Structure 1
Amino acid sequence: MSERTIERVRIMRSWEWARPVRPVRREVLSATPELEEGQPLLLFVPGFGHGAWAYAEHWLGHAAERGFPAYAVSPRGHGGSGPAPEANLRAYAHDVVQVAAGLPRQAVLVGHGAGALVVAHALARYPARAAVLVAPVLGGWATFGAALRRNPLGTLPAVFGGRLRLSRRQLFSRELPDADARRHAARLGRAARRAQWQLLTGADPEPAVGRPPVLVLGSPDDRVVPSSALTRAARRYGSAPLLFPGMGHDLMLDARWREPIDAILDWLVKHPARDDRG
């Protein structure tokens, strides 16, 4: 049996055909360059409680200004997408795969926070050109323990079906003006209860299809994701994390938002994919 046939068998899951994910309206925001320069196409995936708006604030337009077509999806129940109170990680990954498959060409998947875990699951189903995990919350009991230590009052309600809450100090640095921090925080929603529980206790994602290059980045001063978790995530993909000291968890909304997005775009320019199917 050929390697191609083996991989096809591995990604065909009979139970997913038997129990398909329910369709839902998906919000997709975009910014495209005035002139097509052949740069990689980006699909941004927000973390729990965030929507595509979190990337539309700065990163979508900045990527387009640098010649990169940029899209952001709000997974079901987030942003302007349709409601889905019983969604799970599989449904969120399904939304990412479906949107990516409908884009003009093979996408780079960029996930933030719990959205990085969604991207990791989507990589097992979609042959991404590359992936970027920003301040990744990759789930499991280690994540649960770290969340309890760092944010017990915000984490415990999620264990019992309540909302997982993050504070201004966890999300943003002191450099971000209070007015901006309050404006962003006011837009935060909540993930589905099942998805929150899976985030805290779930198993590791399956291996990525095609073994795309993966960049992991974050801040050593992140009050949500400890530096040790960034290192573990990067080692999983055979690299070291790219760090941005002095920033909060929401790098795309923080005061120095340009630094991480420019680093991502520079990495994509210097690290061309082996295969661009489009």
Structure 2
Amino acid sequence: MKSDLLRFADWTDPVPPAEREVVSITEETDAARPPLLFVPGLGHGAWAFAEHWLPAAAARGFAAHALTPRPGSDLRVQVHDVVQVAASLPRQTVLIGHGAGALVVAYAMGRYPAKAAVLAAPVMDGWPTLGAALRANPFGTLPAMVGGRLRLSRKQLFSPELPEERARELLGRIDARPRRELVTHDPAPRPVGGPPVLVVGSPDDRVVPRTSLDRTATRYGGAPLLFPGMGHDLMLDVAWAEPIEAVLDWLGKELKS
């Protein structure tokens, strides 16, 4: 029903066209492999994947793309953009969403027949995530509850091993301004075509509680793949290579089956 309502809204109030920022690495990749489309979370852009995860995927033969959300866009607009970019790629695409981007991917799967999907540190359960944010970073979270900026902290996003200077640099690039729907959204629709879905995260994530990881993985018929000691930003933390290599290994096995 929710998917039908989203489509009705698109027909009656179409999403306005816009130039989309997509960062891609496609040189010397295997044309027989499906392309990967990375979708960043709240306050992040394509840059969050461009440094590590895109080159790692390309090195394994996957054409890798990352989409930056439109500034100030709501869930409907972000889903629309993901579906449009995925549909423009030459082969059936693997969708990989991080944080709130995983929620966007979950909704997009209700409209686009993804080859597979990966939900990394997924922000799918709004109220538990809000509770975790208030416990870990109350002064940075409270302004966002009244329309202000969400000031994410180092301990929420990164492990202690990440150098302080690097952490400050990354935090300075994040501009997180959450919308109410991040908490109040309806459950995501059933994925079209039943693609395999992998949930990855960290039991030490201070944004997404472990119970939420388990609940999301169960929703898609599996268990979460966990990386202890890492923060929420798996793709930027010190051990960034571990989750992406595991994801690519999983894709290799799923695409052969």
| Shift of residue 61, structure 1, vs aligned partner | 0.7
1:251 pairs with 2:245: no
Pick one of 181, 203, 222 that aligns with 2:205.
Answer: 222
| Shift of residue 125, structure 1, vs aligned partner | 1.1
1:14 pairs with 2:47: no
1:169–1:248 CA contact under 8 A, matched in 2: yes
Partner of 1:82: none
CA distance in 2, matches of 1:38, 1:55: 23
Task: Please list the CA deviations of residues 72-105 of structure 1 after superposition, one character each: whole Å capped at 9, or x if unmatched.
Answer: 000101xxxxxxx3x2111111111111111111
Pick one of 199, 202, 207 that aligns with 2:190.
Answer: 207
Partner of 1:178: 164
TM-score normalised over the length of structure 1: 0.87
Are the structure 2 counterparts of residues 24 and 258 from structure 1 closer, same or farther at C-alpha, using a change threshold of 3 Å?
A: same
Partner of 2:60: 66
Paired residue total: 256
1:139–1:198 CA contact under 8 A, matched in 2: no
Please tell me the residue identity of whatever aligns with 2:119. Answer: L
1:11–1:125 CA contact under 8 A, matched in 2: no
| Shift of residue 37, structure 1, vs aligned partner | 5.4
Pick one of 58, 73, 77 that aligns with 1:91.
Answer: 77
| Shift of residue 42, structure 1, vs aligned partner | 0.4
Please tell me the residue identity of whatever aligns with 1:24. Answer: A
1:115 pairs with 2:101: yes
CA distance in 1, matches of 2:114, 2:29: 23
CA distance in 2, matches of 1:250, 1:261: 12
1:223–1:249 CA contact under 8 A, matched in 2: yes
Partner of 1:143: 129
2:199–2:216 CA contact under 8 A, matched in 1: yes
Q: Give the 5 Å matches for 1:262-273.
A: 262-272=245-255
Structure 2 unmatched ranges of 5 or more: none
CA distance in 1, matches of 2:175, 2:125: 19
Partner of 2:48: 54
TM-score normalised over the length of structure 2: 0.94
2:133–2:206 CA contact under 8 A, matched in 1: no
CA distance in 2, matches of 1:217, 1:12: 27
Are the structure 2 counterparts of residues 39 and 155 from structure 1 closer, same or farther at C-alpha, using a change threshold of 3 Å?
A: same
Query: Alignment RMSD, CA only?
Result: 1.9
SS where residue 13 of structure 1 aligns?
Answer: helix
Please tell me the residue identity of whatever aligns with 1:74. Answer: T
Partner of 2:176: 190
SS where residue 256 of structure 1 aligns?
Answer: coil
CA distance in 1, matches of 2:9, 2:25: 37
Structure 1 unmatched ranges of 5 or more: 1-6, 78-84
Task: Please list the CA deviations of residues 139-183 of structure 1 after superposition, one character each: whole Å capped at 9, or x if unmatched.
Answer: 433333333333322222222111122101111111111222122
